């Protein structure tokens, strides 16, 4: 089975499970065993799904400024959790393929497998929510038609992105590509590198 054929149904499952209650505060109930790639993929998409709804809520023009600030902090933490999990998934790929023989003419890709999988997770959310718009009973036919056109593009993009991810993995397995795992090193989350934070700490 190709990797995306394994991953995408897990993304769809996480999205469906979230929307049973559709509540940003509901705890995750991951059905997969901890330490497996399936567990990490489910968690990854759950984080993306919750953040999708964070982003919807914070764009409410009537939101209370204090609530918006609290939500912004939650979005910041969610972004860091997302980045950490992408690195965890990349470490899984790296461990899986680190002992493979790499060809002398092997090249490195512009993004790692996990960052490409991250885009597929987000795409699953776009497809789910665009389908919602197509099916909205209170929407105009014009709105539904426009959303259907966008959905068609998203579905084509899913096919292309899935193909590209699986080709990248095949290239790594064949030694035609090699991968490295880089930490994101987000400076604004670090009290020692964010000047707003370390200048306050030194006062």
Classify the phi-psi angles of 4: left when phi > 0, otherwise alpha if psi is within -120 to 50, otherwise beta: alpha
Per-residue burial over 38-47, b = 16 or more CB atoms within 10 Å of its CB, e = otherwise: bebbbbbbbb
Position 181 scores a pLDDT of 80
Asked if 45 contacts 124 with a C-beta cutoff of 8 angstroms, the reply is yes
Domain annotation covers residue 118: yes
Domain annotation covers residue 144: yes
Position 197 scores a pLDDT of 65
Domain annotation covers residue 121: yes
pTM of the model: 0.91
Structure tokens at 75: 């979005």
Reported as type and span, the H/E element at residue 108 is strand 107-108
Position 172 scores a pLDDT of 97
Indicate the SS3 state at residue 89: helix
Q: How far is CA 61 from CA 55, 68, 118, 175, in A?
A: 12, 10, 29, 52
What are the phi and psi torsion angles at 194 (to 5°)?
Answer: -85, 110
DSSP conformational letter for 177:
E
Domain annotation covers residue 11: yes
**Using CA atoms, how far apart are residues 18 and 166, in angstroms rounded to an integer?**
27
Kindly list the averaged pLDDT for each block of 10 residues, start to end, along the chain of length 203. 97 98 97 98 98 96 96 95 96 95 95 97 98 98 98 98 98 95 71 72 69
Domain annotation covers residue 28: yes
Domain enclosing residue 66, as ranges: 3-194
Domain annotation covers residue 203: no
Reported as type and span, the H/E element at residue 144 is helix 141-173
Domain annotation covers residue 88: yes
DSSP H stretches of helix in 22-140: 37-58, 65-97, 113-134
What are the phi and psi torsion angles at 177 (to 5°)?
Answer: -130, 150
Number of domains observed in the structure of the chain:
1
Domain annotation covers residue 157: yes
């Amino acid at each position: 089975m190709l990797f995306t054929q394994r991953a995408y149904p897990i993304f769809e499952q996480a999205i469906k499970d979230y929307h049973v209650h559709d509540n940003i505060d509901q705890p995750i109930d991951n059905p997969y065993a901890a330490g497996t790639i399936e567990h990490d993929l489910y968690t990854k998409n759950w984080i993306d799904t919750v953040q999708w709804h964070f982003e919807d809520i914070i764009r409410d023009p009537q939101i209370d400024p204090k609530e918006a600030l609290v939500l912004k902090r939650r979005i910041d933490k969610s972004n860091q959790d997302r980045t950490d999990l992408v690195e965890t998934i990349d470490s899984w790929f790296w461990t899986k393929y680190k002992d493979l023989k790499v060809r002398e003419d092997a090249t490195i890709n512009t993004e790692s497998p996990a960052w490409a999988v991250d885009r597929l997770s987000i795409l699953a959310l776009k497809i789910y929510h665009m389908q919602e718009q197509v099916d909205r009973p209170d929407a105009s036919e014009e709105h539904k038609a426009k959303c259907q056109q966008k959905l068609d593009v998203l579905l084509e993009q899913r096919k292309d992105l899935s193909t590209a991810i699986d080709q990248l993995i095949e290239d790594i397995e064949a030694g035609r590509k090699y991968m490295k795992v880089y930490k994101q090193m987000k400076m604004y989350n670090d009290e020692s590198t964010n000047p707003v934070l370390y200048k306050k700490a030194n006062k």
